[in-house]
Amino acid sequence: MSKPLIFSLRPEPDCVEDVAFLKEAGIEASPLPMMAIKGDDAALDTALEALSNMPDTEILITSKQSARMLAAYHDSAAFPQRRIWCVGAGSAEILRRAGFMKVKAGTADAAHLLEVIAASIADKKASFLWLSGADIAFDMEKELNKLGHRAERVIIYQSVARAPECQQLLDALATGRPVAAIAMSARTITLFAEMLAHHKMLSNQTMSNQVVSGQDKPILIVQSPALAERVGNLGFLSICAEELGREALLTCAVGWAQRQI
């Protein structure tokens, strides 16, 4: 049997980090980012300059990209003691390495982060600055305001579709090699399906919401039942990680690859 091959569809540099993890586990992997990140440094500058006059406002981070941009901010040393709430351990670690000292982390999901915040400050009302991407699945601003807090969302980047070189993927599928792809968002999954359709790798029947069996099509490795449902509606098989977050997703990917050997 041919060796399994896994692609990470996440934006750079996350896809490169995924590939490095998988290769260290002895699995052949390759980056195939379906989106690129376009940062808005001017929006970040404006938001953080205003923050300097709001000493009681805390920062919300719900993606590693927002964490990277905040860590690289030219004057970040001006508020290392500001409390920052991060969606997961990955974004928290980026900020700790940059010198931020009061970093609190959830477990990879914005809804869970809201629960952590609500439990931690139940006895007072707080003010938050949410540094966000343009595409969100959970509206932290709305939910925090509903709880009586004051939250303001500032969009500091957007994810734009890109058309990666996919010949390695097409060659692997053409030879019947076991292929899987890691995805963490519905938009990524949709772009991946559209790319394959463009290359005539999916039949009209497949694109009409019918699942194809076997391993002649990529298997999508996802982190939630909602994403698994999206995958099925587009005609793919999927495997859902047991928990949310990158670590569980990659562990799931490793398990799939080992079962193919």
> DSSP string spanning 101-134?
--EEE-SS-HHHHHHHHHHHTTTS--EEEEEEES
81 with 64, same domain: the answer is: yes
76 with 189, same domain: the answer is: no
Domain's final residue, options 141, 160, 179: 160
Q: Supply the range of the domain harboring residue 253.
A: 5-34+162-260
Going through 171-229 in order, the beta strands assigned E by DSSP cover 179-182, 219-222
| Confidence grade of residue 77 (pLDDT, cut at 50, 70, 90) | low
Domains: count for the chain: 2
**pLDDT attached to residue 203:** 41
201 with 136, same domain: the answer is: no
pLDDT-wise least confident of 27-31, 142-146, 183-187: 183-187
Q: 123 or 202: whose pLDDT is higher?
A: 123
**pLDDT attached to residue 208:** 40
Q: Which H or E element spans position 156?
A: strand 150-161
| Confidence grade of residue 124 (pLDDT, cut at 50, 70, 90) | confident
pLDDT-wise least confident of 63-67, 123-127, 203-207: 203-207
Q: Give the pLDDT mean for 45-72.
A: 92
Structural tokens at position 136: 């969100």
Give whichever of 32-36, 88-92, 165-169 has the largest mean pLDDT: 32-36
pTM: 0.84
Q: Is the pLDDT of residue 204 over 50?
A: no
145 with 202, same domain: the answer is: no
Q: Give the pLDDT mean for 65-82.
A: 84
83 with 48, same domain: the answer is: yes
61 with 136, same domain: the answer is: yes
Domain's final residue, options 125, 160, 195: 160
Q: Classify residue 2 as exposed, middle or buried by CB count within 10 Å of its CB (0-12, 13-18, 19+).
A: exposed
Domain's final residue, options 160, 193, 212: 160
221 with 145, same domain: the answer is: no
29 with 79, same domain: the answer is: no
Give the CATH number for residue 236.
Answer: 3.40.50.10090
44 with 120, same domain: the answer is: yes
